[in-house]
Homo-oligomer: A and B are copies of this chain.
Amino acid sequence: MDTAIKTVILSTLIGRPIYFVMKKNNKTAKKIFSSLIFIGLSALISASGQHPNLLLTKQGVKEIQASLGKYANFDKSVNELKAIADKALNSEIIVPLPLNEGGGYTHEKHKNNYYEMNAAGTMYQISGKSEYAEFVRKMLMKYAELYPTLGLHPSKRSETPGKIFWQLLNDCVWLFHTALAYDCIYDYLNSSQKTNLEKNLFRPMAEFISNGSPANNEVFNKMHNHGTWATASVGMIGYVMGDKNLVEKALYGSNKDNKSGFIRQLDVLFSPDGYYTEGPYYQRYAIWPFMVFAQVIENNQPELKIFSYRDSVLLKATNTLIQCAYNGNIFYLNDALKKNYKTQEIVYAVDIAYKNNPKNTFLLDIAQQQKSFIVSDAGIATAKSLNIVKYEPLQFHSVLLRDGANGDEGALGIIRAGKKDKTQMCLTFKATSHGLSHGHYDKLSISMYDGGNFVLTDYGAVRFLNIEPKSGGNYAKENHSWAAQTIAHNTVTVDETSNFNGNIKVSSLHHSDIQYYDFSSNQIQIISGCENNAYKNVKMQRTVAVIENKTFSYPIVIDIFRIISDSTHTLDFPFYYRGQMISTNIQYQKFTAQLNPLGTKNGYQHLWVEAIGKNEKPVTQFTWVEGNRFYTITTLGNSNTKYLMTRTGAGDPNFNIRNETAFMMRQPMVKKHTFVSVVEPHGFYDENKEITENFLTSIRKIELLADNEEYSAVKISTVDNNTFLLIALNKDFDKDREHSIKIDNQTVQFKGNYYFNELTK
């Protein structure tokens, strides 16, 4: 069956038969399901022909009008939109010649313009007041005058510049919002006005976005969030204009063959678990055009059942995005900046997801946290329900989010443990595919949130979003030279070289794998992954367990990281921690009169070495305080292990890098090495109240009792002489297999991939 090939001939309105060649278990699988939606295009575009009919419908307008004054937070959202629109009405309309980059004057002006048009268009529908429509008309006319005169944006920063903005992406976002505004005032305009706008502005812009250059065409057809913005914006203006051709291109790609386009993106960019391959930060950004365009499709071509498509992948993706957060803050993974549930894109996603599946009542819990709604059918539906539906509070749970269109390209593991409140521990384990252009070389990296804080950190991105003096508001060059490199992550770097030698093309061919995971126990949650391609002839296995036991005040992390090679390598293994260093048992020298970088390339040039140490004892401990808790890493070293304390900021001529600290283990020239570490949150600290409790870790000793091809066995001893044994299998994973292992003078019998227990005293 693996090689079975099926050919399906589809007859469509596009006018020619499409041949689908499908291989089972590869990326084009499940095309049969996909084809159903493809056939669905036979329906009329915008069957009703009425306006508005993108996000807001005539029915939605009535409901909003009838609801005003009833739902305080929805009213607030309407009033915020009204305030934007009213301020716009009282200001001069300025449509400047494009000049600046992100955050610069013309950039922000054009951005405000589309927000203003969107706000005024919506307010026109809600209030019926023609001055709002007139404002949108006037501004659109100015754009219709300007647009035909524009060449490419003068900035040379992007490989695909827009005309209004420095990058094409932002032109798409402009069209996305403006399509919504145009839809709202469509019936207000006479036909010559519409003809003018469509001829001079919308059609040329749609053409520019989808086919303005080979590079633009490539973006339009690309499996990437830029492709989503491009297809969504072109599709949306297509629906408003009743332009079937544009809609088909948006849905099925330039060639309308479904090898690209929005539908294909749904197949490829999300895993079966609704994980978006670029990672949570871009999942948040992409969910915006995905959900909005899907709602537009639903309103105009309900027969496509877009929200049911691929086992409701979009609804699943919204839920997955919600899970990829700690206290409402989206995880830092790959390129990422600070974003939380209150961003408008997540407001859009939550409202639209709820409207299209009101069974997910936990979305109402997010909505009440957001205290904000889209002024649309979805927004009013959500706001209403919030007042009448009894909803479940959002529950975070440990989850494995498979990556890859077929879910077979590794996964992101998320373990939650401890008290179910804002201080709960959350550990992420990244064993995914590369994640396209925003991916980092961070195979088997972990991050840890605890006590309400980001404790073991991922740098995220080097970018000052929309601050023009900082690299035009775009990614700084240090994003590549630092943030993306392996050494910037809580994982092992081999021979001072990043995974796949930092080559995205090679990295994109591979992915890490999950060996096993089990989140079913109250005592231990465990995940194990491997990476065998990132370094030539080096195999890496990492098994991370989160333990909850009365011996410890909070959950602790046991981390076994095995490196096996047939040649010798130097291994660097940092833990980037946030907080203030308190104590360590190593003998270290802190450099007081001179700092130098750790290396010259692959991210090493950005690390100041603050201190270097050795430890005569095998068990090394390093303690810091962050927020109200102390944290100790206890790790097993030997006489060759070097310990480094580093701080980012070297090799940074333009002050782009934040200063962050790491405690790093360096194991020089080994063929095999297994790092065993325990991270324990402990005690309590309150500077304001002057309370200090348990600033010492309860971990006394780590022993690696066995470490071979079959399994690794780790014994942890506490200061109170409690001992715990963790045995983690290293191969032949099978959750049902029985094992009997003799270790430490006793025979341990267990079923499955691991064993964990407290040893009797």
Q: Which residues of B contact A645 (CB under 8 A)?
A: 655
Q: Which of B108, B340, B468, B625 meets A467, CB within 8 Å?
A: B625
Complex contact B592–A689 (CB within 8 A): no
Complex contact B651–A689 (CB within 8 A): no
In the complex, whether A685 has a CB less than 8 A from a CB of chain B is yes
Interface residues of A in 650-684 (CB under 8 A from B): 650-655, 658-659
Query: A593-604 toward B: CB 8 Å interface, digit per residue (1/0)?
Result: 111110000000
Q: Which residues of B contact A593 (CB under 8 A)?
A: 596-597, 605, 650-651
Complex contact B342–A688 (CB within 8 A): yes
Q: Which of B465, B605, B610, B659 meets A687, CB within 8 Å?
A: B465
A654 to B468, CA, bound (A): 39
Q: Which of B470, B652, B695 meets A592, CB within 8 Å?
A: B652
For chain A, the count of residues having a C-beta within 8 Å of the partner chain is: 55
Query: A715-734 toward B: CB 8 Å interface, digit per residue (1/0)?
Result: 00000000000000000000
Interface residues of A in 389-438 (CB under 8 A from B): none
In the complex, whether A742 has a CB less than 8 A from a CB of chain B is no
Q: Which of B338, B464, B580 meets A582, CB within 8 Å?
A: B464
Chain B nearest Cβ from A289, distance in angstroms: 15
A320 to B102, CA, bound (A): 46
In the complex, whether A758 has a CB less than 8 A from a CB of chain B is no
Closest to A338 in B: B687
Interface residues of A in 471-517 (CB under 8 A from B): 473
Complex contact A594–B592 (CB within 8 A): no
In the complex, whether A736 has a CB less than 8 A from a CB of chain B is no
Interface residues of A in 577-620 (CB under 8 A from B): 580-583, 590, 592-597, 605, 608, 610-611
Query: A615-653 toward B: CB 8 Å interface, digit per residue (1/0)?
Result: 000000001010000000000000000000101011111
User: How many of these chains are in the complex?
Assistant: 2
In the complex, whether A337 has a CB less than 8 A from a CB of chain B is yes
Chain B nearest Cβ from A121, distance in angstroms: 20
In the complex, whether A339 has a CB less than 8 A from a CB of chain B is yes
In the complex, whether A303 has a CB less than 8 A from a CB of chain B is no
A467 to B344, CA, bound (A): 43
A691 to B337, CA, bound (A): 14
In the complex, whether A187 has a CB less than 8 A from a CB of chain B is no
Chain B nearest Cβ from A465, distance in angstroms: 6
Complex contact B687–A337 (CB within 8 A): yes
Complex contact A692–B655 (CB within 8 A): no
Complex contact A692–B467 (CB within 8 A): yes
A337 to B689, CA, bound (A): 12
Q: Which of B464, B580, B610 meets A464, CB within 8 Å?
A: B580
Complex contact A693–B108 (CB within 8 A): yes
Interface residues of A (CB under 8 A from B): 102-103, 108, 337-340, 342-344, 464-470, 473, 580-583, 590, 592-597, 605, 608, 610-611, 623, 625, 645, 647, 649-655, 658-659, 685, 687-693, 695
List 28 interface pairs A-B (beta carbons < 8 Å), by A numbering. Answer: A103-B692, A338-B688, A339-B687, A339-B688, A340-B688, A343-B688, A343-B689, A464-B625, A465-B687, A465-B690, A466-B691, A466-B692, A467-B692, A468-B692, A590-B653, A590-B655, A592-B605, A592-B650, A592-B652, A592-B653, A593-B596, A594-B594, A595-B596, A595-B650, A611-B655, A645-B655, A647-B649, A647-B659
